Amino acid sequence: MKNIQRLIKTCFFVLSFVFIGCKPSTKIKGGVVSAMPYASEVGVKILKAGGNAYDAMVATNFALAVVYPVAGNITGGGFFVYRNADGSSGTLDYREQAPEKAFKDLYLDEVGNVIPKKSIVGGLAVGVPGTVAGTIEIHKKLGTLPLSMLIQPAIDLAENGYAVTEKQVSSLNGYREVFIEVNGPDTFYAKDFKAGDIIKNPALAKVLREIATNGIEGFNSGWVAEAVVSGVQTSGCILTQKDLVNYKPKWRDPLTFFYKDLKVISMGLPSSGGICLNQMMKMIEPYNIKDMGHNTQKSIQLMVEAEKRSYADRSEFLGDPDFVQVPLNILLDSVYIKKKMSGFDWTKATPSSEIKPGDSYYFESDETTHFSILDDHGNAVSVTTTLNGAYGSKVFIDEIGVFMNNEMDDFSSKPGVPNMFGLIGNLANAIEPKKRMLSSMTPTIVEKKGELYLILGSPGGSTIITSVFQTILNVYEHNFPIQKSVNASRFHHQWLPDSITFEPNKFDPRLLQNLKNIGYNAEEKKSKIIGKVDAILVNDGIITLGADYRGDDTAVAY
C-alpha cells in the first residue's frame, strides 16, 4: 500500500515538475503559488474566468482564510506589492495597528519587566486587524470582477469543507492544548483531526457572506464587529469597535533599489523587509558571489556579515514612519553601506558585539503566508499576510470561526528585550496608540533590464528577509531554475543572537566546522525550516513557478 502511495506521489511530482517546475512550458500564461492547493486553484479559477491578478489576490486571500487557519486570515494584516503590466507599481500597507487604548508599557509589570507571553497569547496580544479593509481596498482600486464573485469560492470551501492535510493535522495536534487552555474544551480546533478529514466552518462562511454583501461594513460593524470585540475583550483585549471602524489601509511608495541589472521593488516601512533587503544586496554587490558558488563557505560568510550589519540597524532605527523619523537617507546611502562592510574580514567572523552590543534568543515558527500571482496581461502580485505566530493569539471566536492575531508582539515591549523571533527593538518600535508594529515581511517583485523577472516572498518571522535575499541570488547569480531556487537549503543570521542558523542536515559538517574555526557560531538545531518561498519567474518570456517543498505549497499554472 505504502509503495502504491509512493508511486502515485512520484508520478504526481514528476508531472507537476514537467508542467510547473523546472521544465519550462511556453504555454503557461500565469498562475498562482500559495501555501495550499485549494487556494492556488481558487486564484487560477478567477484568472480563467477573466479576472486579473488583483481579482485573483482577493479570491486567494479569502480562500486561505478558510483552508489555512494557521496564517491565512481575515483578522490579521499584511503587505501587498504589485506591478502592472505597463511597469507602474505600488504597495498597500494593511498591517495591524495598536488599539487606541494601548500604551508604551502595556506588557510590563510594576517593576518594569516584560510579563512573559502577555504580547503572545490571549486577548491583549491582538492588534487591530487590517486584512479585510486591505483586501477590499485592493479590489476597489485594481479589481475588475464583483467582490461577491471573488469571495464565493471561499464561502463554498467554508460551507462544503476541505480535506485537512497531514502537515496541518500535525500542526493542529501540536497546538491543541493551548487552544483548549485559551478557549475551553469545546473550542472548534480542539477536535482530533486526521489527515483527509473534511473541515467545514459554517460560522466563517456566514462572515464571508456578510463581507461579500456589505464590503468592509460587513466586518467592522453589525454582529460581526460585536462578535470580534466581545470575543477579544472576554480574553483581556483592549480593542474596541471604534478601533475597527477607524482602521485604514495605506497606499505607500514601494521601496525600490538597483542591484546590477535588476530593479527590486519591495515593501517599505512599517516593514523592515525592503530596507534590509536593500542594505544586504548593496553590501554584497561589490563581490563576485557567482564565482564563489552557491552555499560555499565564502558566499555564506559574505551574506552572513551583510545580514548581521543590516539587522543591527533594523533594531535601532526602524519603526512606523507615521510615528518616527527613520534616517532612510543615511541607512540606504551607498557610502554608509560601503563603510558598514569595511570591517569585514575573510579570515575571521566580526562578532555581533562589535557591530552593536546586546543579547538575544531566537525562536522560529513558520506561520505567516506568502502568495505570488501573475496574470496573462503581465500584472504581478506579491502578498505576505499573517496572524503573526501560528494561529495568532490562539484566541478563537466561535461566532465568526477564526483566530485573532498576536501581532502586538512585533512591537518592542521594552528596549533590548527580544520578541518571540528574538528580534531586539528600540524606541522607534515602541507601542503607541494606532501605531503599526515593525514587520519583516518582504513581498517583492524584481525587474531585469526593465522587464518583469521574479515575484517572491516568504513566511518565517525574522528569517523572511534572509530567505528572500537567498532566493533572489539563487535565481540571478547561481542561475538555478525556480523550483531549485525555492527548495535550496537556507541559513540565517540576524545579528543577535550571534549565530548562524542552518537548516539541519543540509550542509556539509566540514563547512560548518570551517566556519566555527574562524569564529562563527554555526547551529543546526534551533530551527527546522527557514522560510517557505513561493515564487514565479519570467525569464526571456518563459514563465515557471516554484512552490516551496517545505509546506503544502502548491503552484497552479494556466
- SS3 (DSSP) at 516: helix
Per-residue contact track with ligand DON, 309 to 348, x per CB under 6 A? ----------------------------------------
366 binds ligand DON (CB under 6 A): yes
Per-residue contact track with ligand DON, 61 to 100, x per CB under 6 A? ----------------------------------------
- 402, 129 Cβ separation under 8 angstroms: no
461 binds ligand DON (CB under 6 A): yes
Smallest gap from Cβ 219 to ligand DON, in A, equals: 21
465 versus 536: smaller Cβ distance to ligand DON:
465
Handedness of CA 183, 209, 39, 197 (dihedral sign): positive
- 207, 228 Cβ separation under 8 angstroms: no
Per-residue contact track with ligand DON, 170 to 189, x per CB under 6 A? --------------------
Nearest to 393 by CA among 146, 119, 194, 129: 119
Residues within window 463-502 making contact with ligand DON, judged by CB under 6 A: 464
Catalytic residue among 368, 385, 444, 466: 368
Smallest gap from Cβ 440 to ligand DON, in A, equals: 4
List C-alpha distances in Å: 418 to 208, 315, 422, 440: 36, 10, 5, 14
Per-residue contact track with ligand DON, 416 to 445, x per CB under 6 A? -----------------------xxx----
State the amino acid at position 372 in one-letter form: S
Residues in the chain: 558
- Dist. CA 237–CA 546, nearest whole Å: 40
CA angle 250, 256, 260 (to 5 degrees): 165
- SS3 (DSSP) at 533: coil
Stretch of residues binding ligand DON (CB under 6 A), selected from 97-105, 188-196, 312-320, 455-463: 455-463
30 versus 551: smaller Cβ distance to ligand DON:
551
368 versus 379: smaller Cβ distance to ligand DON:
368
List C-alpha distances in Å: 218 to 129, 210, 244, 463: 14, 5, 11, 35
Stretch of residues binding ligand DON (CB under 6 A), selected from 135-143, 280-288, 359-367, 510-518: 359-367
**How many CB atoms lie under 10 A from the CB of residue 146?**
12
Smallest gap from Cβ 310 to ligand DON, in A, equals: 15
Residues within window 374-403 making contact with ligand DON, judged by CB under 6 A: 386, 388
30 versus 460: smaller Cβ distance to ligand DON:
460
- Dist. CA 553–CA 34, nearest whole Å: 6
To the query of whether residue 368 is one of the catalytic residues in this protein, the response is yes
Smallest gap from Cβ 252 to ligand DON, in A, equals: 15
Q: DSSP for 171-207? A: HHHHHHHHHHHHH-TT-GGGS---TTPEE--HHHHHH
Stretch of residues binding ligand DON (CB under 6 A), selected from 40-48, 296-304, 456-464, 489-497: 456-464
The site that binds ligand DON (CB under 6 A) totals a number of residues, namely: 15
Smallest gap from Cβ 272 to ligand DON, in A, equals: 8
Smallest gap from Cβ 47 to ligand DON, in A, equals: 27
DSSP state of 249: -
Smallest gap from Cβ 343 to ligand DON, in A, equals: 28
Stretch of residues binding ligand DON (CB under 6 A), selected from 293-301, 373-381, 457-465, 540-548: 457-465
- Dist. CA 116–CA 269, nearest whole Å: 27
Helix 463-476 vs helix 273-284: crossing angle, to nearest 10: 50
386 versus 444: smaller Cβ distance to ligand DON:
386
What is the distance between the terminal CA atoms of the chain, rounded to a whole angstrom? 33
Which residues lie closer than 8 Å to 57 by C-beta, 6 or more apart? 43, 80, 135, 138, 371, 373, 381, 383
352 versus 369: smaller Cβ distance to ligand DON:
369
Q: Which helix (H) or strand (E) holds 491?
A: strand 491-492
List C-alpha distances in Å: 64 to 9, 366, 384: 24, 15, 12
374 versus 533: smaller Cβ distance to ligand DON:
533
Stretch of residues binding ligand DON (CB under 6 A), selected from 181-189, 362-370, 505-513, 518-526: 362-370
Which chain residues interact with ligand DON by CB under 6 A?
365-368, 386, 388, 407, 410, 439-441, 459-461, 464
Which residues are identified as catalytic?
368
